[in-house]
Amino acid sequence: MITEILIYARVALLFLVTPVHASGSFGRGAASKPISPCSRQCLRTLADRYLESLVAHDPSRLPFAPSVTFTENGRELKLGEGLWKTAAALGAYRVYVLDPDSGAVAVQTVLYDGPQVVQLLLRLRIRDDRITEVETLIAREGDTCCWAPERLAALPAVFDQTIPVGKRAGRQELIAIADAYFTALHTGGTPEYRRASLFSEMNRYENGLLTTNVTGGNRITRWDAAKQLDSAMFGPLRVVNRRYPVVDPENGTLLAVVLFQRPDSRQPPTIISEFFKIIDGKIYEIRAVMVSTLSGAQVALRRSALNGGADSVVARYCDMKTREADAWLFDEYQLNTIGYWFLERGRKSDAVRTFQLNVNEYPNASNPYDSLGEAYLSVGDTAAAILAYERSVRLDPKNNNGADVLRQLRGKTAAPSTMRTMSSDEIRRAIARVRCSP
């Protein structure tokens, strides 16, 4: 546990401040020519050149400043390390935010890290005709809750559309609109909450996965973005260290980079990078690349989920708790996100078993019961779902979504509530049969 905390502290520090300059430099030989002050097309071409040099494993093709800084997932590296050594091929998907006024460009793309598909966020800063900053975030399957880069179209046309001159928002206005979205996430469920300015059809993609307005999706992804915000489904959540390093008023786009932290959790935060498209003062679309700040317990469990089913997750979790308790940080969100990972892939029975274990691990937390209720509904077990939702609402009377689901379920069944006659332990034994052996 101490090791994880120390690693996390270093990552957080690198994320919060300008990294120490990377030693050495590349691109100073005859093969590299300085870049003139960069136009929009120049920035776009430079980003493409970086990606081509990346898969060629040759940073000398680019004009880096001697004091260039380079980070990968919040960690400082030397140029030529990390993905520079393993990138194999580029995908077709590519979205840009171009900022010639500040000499910056950001691009989201899909590529192959060896045989594995990854999603990449690349940000470059240009000063005096040379690249002075390189920031990269690399999302891999199993690192966070969401994953579907294969569904991304080659180029979302809306991000390339120019905003008419008379309708363009200024840099600070674009930043304020995006920041209001993060403030809404941060204050969800509190008196300070104010809904952000959104189009009703606004969509959000997280590591390629559409998480709003999904036909046939789960109870959350079926909702539009406004309903999700109003429900406080993301909370409790702290959205901190917000940065807006690339802003493009001409296209109404910007890059935001923030940290998501759970105030009631010892788990390290998630780095979130989001491309916003803003039209007429409203957010039209968000595309996010999300990465974990270190490979902790949650990442280990997700890898178990990738390699097997719920049985593999349960075995790994219980082994970690009994044999390696001092090496990991644990909370309810780890198993919860694994359960939803199974649900998103239609593996409903695996989701039920994962949520059952979470209920037994955190019997006094409302959210695990709520998630278990949703999983029971997915397999058609209404009676068990009612028990789970009743327990969730009793533990958290502010769980309005759970209360709404309960009202709907009770209207479909003649079965009376059993909460009056069953103790909390009896309820748990009835609906959560998966547990670590004592």
More confident residue, 302 or 188: 188
Over residues 359-363, the mean pLDDT reads 93
- Range of weakest confidence among 332-336, 340-344, 420-424: 420-424
pLDDT above 50 for 209: yes
pLDDT above 80 for 430: yes
* pTM for this entry: 0.70
CA distances in angstroms from 424 to 12, 127, 233, 285, 395, listed in the order given: 40, 63, 24, 43, 10
Give 381: exposed, middle or buried? Use CB within 10 Å, 0-12, 13-18, 19+: middle
Is residue 60 within 8 A of residue 29, CB to CB? The reply is yes
More confident residue, 219 or 134: 134
Q: Which domains does the chain have, with CATH numbers?
A: 40-156 (3.10.450.50), 165-292 (3.10.450.50), 296-431 (1.25.40.10)
Over residues 195-210, the mean pLDDT reads 93
What is the predicted pLDDT for the residue at 144?
73
What is the predicted pLDDT for the residue at 217?
74
pLDDT band at 29 (very low <50, low <70, confident <90, very high): very low
- pLDDT tens figures, 303-316: 788 778 899 999 98
More confident residue, 234 or 318: 318
pLDDT above 80 for 247: yes
Rounded (5°) CA angle 95-98-104: 120
What is the predicted pLDDT for the residue at 418?
52
More confident residue, 426 or 299: 426
More confident residue, 419 or 164: 164
pLDDT > 70 in the chain, percent: 84
Over residues 89-94, the mean pLDDT reads 94
CA distances in angstroms from 222 to 189, 213, 215, 422, listed in the order given: 20, 5, 6, 33
Over residues 216-224, the mean pLDDT reads 81
Give 388: exposed, middle or buried? Use CB within 10 Å, 0-12, 13-18, 19+: buried
Please report the beta strands in 249-369, taking only residues with DSSP state E, as ranges in sequence order: 253-261, 270-279, 282-292
Over residues 408-427, the mean pLDDT reads 67
Task: Give long-range contacts, CB 8 A cutoff, 24+ apart: 38-44.
Answer: 38/100, 38/103, 38/105, 38/126, 39/100, 40/98, 40/100, 40/250, 42/100, 43/96, 43/98, 43/99, 43/100, 43/103, 43/104, 43/105, 43/124, 43/126, 44/96, 44/98, 44/105
What is the predicted pLDDT for the residue at 392?
93
Q: What mean pLDDT is reported for the chain?
A: 85
More confident residue, 67 or 3: 67
